[in-house]
Amino acid sequence: MNTLHEDIAEKLQTVLLAGISQDSMKTIKKKVEDILYEIETDVDCRLKEDLAPNLVAFVSDMARRTVEAILDGNQDQMERYLGCERGHWTGRSDSPEYGRKRDISEWHSVIHGNLFETGAIALRKKIVEAHRDLIESQRILDLEDQVASLVAQIRKQNAEIERLRDLTRAA
């Protein structure tokens, strides 16, 4: 069967070479080179244009995950997201092994009679101690916004109830 394919390929090549002049072959080669150049330019341009936004999105996501891990007191996750882990984790997938809550005895061990806190817990404590007023004021602003939203929702519901009452009274 292979010999049949080879035979057909040889005959086809002979016919094509006989039917295509050298000038035509040069023209075809030039067109193929132009097409390849356009493809290469397009790929290069897209790569350069998309690289910055994709990199920004990746770094932003890793920073957000790092802060969340710090706030959760999860040292392993924090190190993974910062790229500090020994295996040079890239952050592209999350194994079920990571992100787990450690046993409380692992987080708050007593060494020489003193409570010892790991890096993520200690960092979270330092952030809170250094910016307690900011955290409290921002939390108050968050709660005020939530209350304003709930009040608006209640007013909307009350207006809807009144509208429905007016409809039933009119009927």
Q: Is 16 exposed, middle or buried (0-12, 13-18, 19+ CB in 10 A)?
A: exposed
Q: Could you read off the pLDDT of 21-66 as tens digits, one per residue?
A: 778 878 888 998 999 999 999 999 888 888 888 888 888 888 888 8
Handedness of CA 137, 139, 144, 148 (dihedral sign): positive
3-state percent helix, strand, coil for the chain, nearest multiple of 5: 75, 5, 20
**pTM for the whole thing?**
0.38
pLDDT tier, 84 (very low <50, low <70, confident <90, very high otherwise): low
> To 10 degrees, the CA torsion angle through 85, 89, 95, 99?
40
